[in-house]
Amino acid sequence: MDTQSLRLFVLSCETLNISAAGRALGMAPAVASTRIAKLEHFVGADLLHRSTRKVSISLEGQDFLPYAKEMIAQEEAALAALGKGRTKISGTLRFAAPSSFAQLYIAPLLPAFMDKYPDLTLDLHLSDTQFDLIQGSYDLALRNSVLTDSTLTARKLADDRRILCATPGYLDRHGTPVKPADLDKHRLIAFRDLEPRGLIASDGTPAVFDPKRAAQRLTLNDGLTQKKITLNGAGISINSLWSVHEELANGRLKRVLPEYEIADKPALWLIYPKSNVVSAKVRVFMDFLIAHIGRAQAWQGST
């Protein structure tokens, strides 16, 4: 099927003007009308209703429209995967990500990405609060939890090691835990809720980080705030290594029970709605993030 005719059909549906759609694609009005007629003959249905005064979409055209868009997207994605096709990637990409990670790793990369794709508009939603990807109409999202929704597809960006840490000052005042049971005597900072988190030692020994059993506890729902509160000496918290590796290196934070990590081995995932094809705008942004973050992983090897 001729994808240029499909483009003409889609644009005609958006403008309700076949001649204007044709001119936008470099076609004379007569040529545009002929191509629409040939497309209708090929599919065996009237896709557009024409009169001397207006154009409207038929019921069959409404049914066919999403498939036409999908076929165009397939062609663009296939050519983009080979580094070919239209070099101009345009439109709006709606992307959601945890605020704390975006501030540290994504925001510094955006100028370079925008220079590379000047016709692409980025609409960012940055929050550490969970959300519904489909209902929010997002093209792509970054999550740090296991994918459970069957309507979504995931591509791994990086590992997300999580460790216990506190300031040296806090540990000097309150003592340093030497075994998991010692956590019950400390101030524990919990993210989002008070649910216990499983821990596992390098030798496979299991343990639990349970804020409900703590001598004192604090809960919050923002990762950057949790890090700052921990740096201010408020207690012991679980942090992603990507968030605290610099503070561990310069001594502002110290690992607590260094032989233990979070047991569920979380990772950072790029999540997008399940489809037969990934649109070119989503593909180029995912590839960009993987090239600049996933392959580099500045926190790799930190302890």
Fold of 162-262: D-Maltodextrin-Binding Protein; domain 2 (3.40.190)
State CA 175 to chain mean position distance: 40
Same fold flag, 3-81 and 162-262:
no
**SS3 sequence, 189-238?**
EEECCCCCEEEEECCCCEEEECHHHCCEEEEECCHHHHHHHHHCCCCEEE
Domain boundaries along the sequence of the chain: 3-81, 91-160+266-294, 162-262
| 19-23, 160-164, 252-256, 260-264 — most confident range | 252-256
The answer for residues whose C-beta is within 8 angstroms of residue 223's C-beta and 6 or more apart is 98, 99, 100, 101, 128, 191, 239, 240, 243
Q: What is the CATH code of the structural domain delimited by 3-81?
A: 1.10.10.10
Confidence of residue 212 (pLDDT cuts 50, 70, 90): very high
Q: Which CATH superfamily is domain 91-160+266-294 in?
A: Periplasmic binding protein-like II (3.40.190.10)
Confidence of residue 150 (pLDDT cuts 50, 70, 90): low
Confidence of residue 84 (pLDDT cuts 50, 70, 90): low
